[in-house]
Amino acid sequence: MINNSVLDAIYNRRSVRFYTDELVDDESVKEIIRAGSFAPSGLNNQPWRFITIRTPEIKNNISELTHYSKIVIEANVLIAVMLDTDAIYNRDKDLQAIGACLQNMLLAIHSLRLGAVWLGEILNQKDQFNKLLSVEERYELMAVVAIGHQTKKTLSYSRKNIDELIIKEI
Amino acid sequence: MINNSVLDAIYNRRSVRFYTDELVDDESVKEIIRAGSFAPSGLNNQPWRFITIRTPEIKNNISELTHYSKIVIEANVLIAVMLDTDAIYNRDKDLQAIGACLQNMLLAIHSLRLGAVWLGEILNQKDQFNKLLSVEERYELMAVVAIGHQTKKTLSYSRKNIDELIIKEI
């Protein structure tokens, strides 16, 4: 295996679900969003939009839309990643671009020595999410990233060996 | 702006479309695939599969499926990223996971001082792509990453200012 700081971040990033009370400062939140916005997108349409959520009452309300309530309540800040459906180019490619944006955010968070988890199950309640936050229907919830300072080491998921993933080499 | 090597890679990565004849070694190709495979996925379903393509005749045949023929022919190696539809969990989330996998690959490539571009337009011919390479229908083409050693600096795309991207801060 080759070694460099970018590969280290890719291999050592973990989903972090337990956070201290410590503040995630605004500068870090802006940097995480900026990192997300540097993902590539089809025709450079940059379809991602963001909502940052810190207010405890609002986090409490959001926690009722998901099975992962504890994470939503305990995270110091949430960043909701929204698809601007007015900016749509091709839904499949836009969803891929949003995934690339999310990965940049997760790697940026790791590089800032913060912890985060990408929450997707809340998409089952995406319409309620928009209503709760008074966000126009034009914006479609894609994921919520819960962010905080990590308390304890979290388990890593196993990965398939790359030989199982390569269909052919031609 | 905060500065670290991961953020540097995120901000300085560019789509590279012009390549020298220099070989991209197998170790690098494996590392790029390994980096992709460390993306997060819903329920850790790891739906990504890969095809590596080096053979000039096959690259020539693939070049006929896209407007970006020159890139496909001149890239030293192509990695096709496929969705294993037998591993599907939720199409929207699987497409996002594939996007995260692609972004890891692009950042790994940048960290290895190679250049690459994410080709999506070829998806218009995805069925023909599978036929040409005798790949089962079960695998759906998601993108082709063209990789080589960079010749000349390529232009970067402008990005929206993050203030335009934040819907609300609450």
Q: Which residues in chain B are contacts of A38 at CB distance < 8 A?
A: 10-11, 13, 159
Query: Which among B4, B24, B10, B14 is positioned nearest to B112, based on CA atoms?
Result: B24
Asked if residue A101 is part of any domain, the answer here is yes
Asked if residue B169 is part of any domain, the answer here is no
Is residue B7's pLDDT more than 80?
A: yes
Q: Which residues in chain A are contacts of B98 at CB distance < 8 A?
A: 96, 99
Tokens of B161: 């200012």
Query: Which among A21, A15, A13, A35 is positioned nearest to A148, based on CA atoms?
Result: A21
Asked if residue A36 is part of any domain, the answer here is yes
Residue A107's closest chain B neighbor by CA? B6
CB pairs under 8 A between A and B: 209
Distance from CA of A64 to the nearest CA of B (A): 17
Distance from CA of B147 to the nearest CA of A (A): 15
Q: Is the ipTM of this complex over 0.85?
A: yes
Is residue B53's pLDDT more than 70?
A: yes
Least confident of A13-27, A145-159, B11-25: A145-159
How many separate domains does chain A show?
A: 1
Confirm if B106 and B6 have CB atoms less than 8 A apart: no
Which letter does DSSP use for residue A169 in this model? E
Mean pLDDT of chain A: 95
Asked if residue A125 is part of any domain, the answer here is yes
Please give the average per-residue pLDDT across A143-169, as a whole number. Answer: 88
Tokens of B100: 């995260």
Query: How far apart are alpha carbons B29 and B53 in whole angstroms?
Result: 11
DSSP β-bridge partners for residue B115: B148
The pLDDT assigned to B155 comes to: 67
Distance from CA of B110 to the nearest CA of A (A): 9
**Of chain A residues 34-73, which have a CB less than 8 A from chain B?**
34-35, 37-40, 42, 44, 46, 48-55, 58
The pLDDT assigned to B60 comes to: 98
Chain-chain contact of A162 with B37 (C-beta, under 8 angstroms): yes
Model-wide pTM > 0.90: yes
Chain-chain contact of B1 with A50 (C-beta, under 8 angstroms): no
Chain-chain contact of B162 with A95 (C-beta, under 8 angstroms): no
Asked if residue B164 is part of any domain, the answer here is no
Query: CB-CB: which of A104, A143, A157 is closest to B44?
Result: A157
What's B112-151 look like in SS3?
A: CCCEEEEECHHHHHHHHHHHHHCCCCCEEEEEEEEEECEC
Query: How far apart are alpha carbons B121 and B111 in whole angstroms?
Result: 25
Q: When comparing pLDDT for B157 and A80, which is higher?
A: A80
The pLDDT assigned to A1 comes to: 81
Contacts of B26 (CB under 8 A, 6+ apart): none
pLDDT in tens, B65-103: 999 999 999 999 999 999 999 998 899 999 999 999 999
Asked if residue B138 is part of any domain, the answer here is yes
Domain region containing A107: 15-149
Is residue A123's pLDDT more than 90?
A: yes
Residue B110's closest chain A neighbor by CA? A6
Asked if residue B3 is part of any domain, the answer here is no
Q: Is B30 on the interface with A (CB under 8 A)?
A: yes
Please give the average per-residue pLDDT across B33-51, as a whole number. Answer: 96
Q: Is B85 on the interface with A (CB under 8 A)?
A: no
pLDDT in tens, B107-165: 999 999 999 999 999 999 999 999 999 999 999 999 999 999 999 766 677 899 999 99
Residue B40 pLDDT grade (very low, low, confident, very high; cuts 50, 70, 90): very high
Domain of residue B71, CATH code: 3.40.109.10
Confirm if B13 and A43 have CB atoms less than 8 A apart: no
Asked if residue A92 is part of any domain, the answer here is yes
